[in-house]
Amino acid sequence: MAARVLVADDEDRIRQLVRMYLTRENFEVDEAGDGQTALERINGTTYSLIILDLMLPEVDGWTVCQEVRRHSDTPIIMLSARSEEYDRILGLQLGADDYVCKPFSPRELVLRVKSLLRRTPGVTPVRGAVLQAGNLTVDEQCCQARVAGEELRLTPKEYSLLTLMIRRPGQIFSRESLLEQVWGYEFTGGRRTVDSHVKNLREKLGEAGATAQVETVWGFGYRLVTLR
């Protein structure tokens, strides 16, 4: 079944351009011209990925992103003409998986969509082992992370970060290395992007009572350690 993508942007030209490039790659595409319509479509349809403009009328993109994250880990790519670091970091902290500044290359956007979907749990299962650190397990076959048997809800980037680290427990990964191995392309968000995703991953591990945690090694990067 083809992956279904929602494109939420108030500019007809942008929606049509993105739709054209995505349909060429055999994606099914729905559109929304404002935030309220986007929420209605999201509540009524299961999407593989959402492309979300920040400056939507009626309900802005920030709010739509927060609402989605209340009940779903659907990958979100934010679009915005606002390129300041603060806006990028805030978008990632709210739960977005990627942030693309306007004007953008439609071909690059398609590559980012494909990259995210390859890393999305449940979308493209891959053969793999069951990895464990303390009471934390990652089943690569099912693309699921669990703490003491309970499923841990992670975004695609959080899952990819965790999987990379649990494969090599104790190994220190620099921010640059994580950007290269998890994002898989030259990403303009910089090292703060990694910090935001690690922060969110830590919070989820802590709230779930995981006995493994992502530790900061000051001046070097991050590593996964077993606490007890």
CB atoms within 10 A of CB 205: 24
Gap between the Cα atoms of 86 and 4, Å rounded: 30
Nearest-10 crossing angle of helices 156-167, 106-118: 60
Token pair in block for residue 220: 């070097």
Gap between the Cα atoms of 133 and 213, Å rounded: 9
**Beta bridge partner(s), residue 173:** 222
Answer yes or no: pTM beyond 0.95.
Answer: no
Q: Can you give the pLDDT of all 228 residues of the chain as single tens digits? A: 568 999 999 999 999 999 999 988 888 899 999 999 999 999 988 899 999 998 899 999 989 999 998 888 889 999 887 766 666 777 777 788 888 888 888 888 998 898 888 766 554 433 456 889 999 999 877 778 999 989 999 888 899 899 989 988 888 898 888 887 787 654 555 677 889 899 999 999 999 999 999 999 998 899 999 986
Measured CA distances, 1 to 24, 48, 180 (Å) = 15, 11, 30
Residues present in the chain in total: 228
Is the bond preceding 103 in cis, omega lying within 30 degrees of 0? Answer: yes
* C-alpha gyration radius of the chain: 17
Q: Find out whether 38 and 64 touch, Cβ atoms under 8 Å.
A: yes
Instruction: Indicate the DSSP class of residue 21.
Output: H
The per-residue pLDDT for 96 is 85
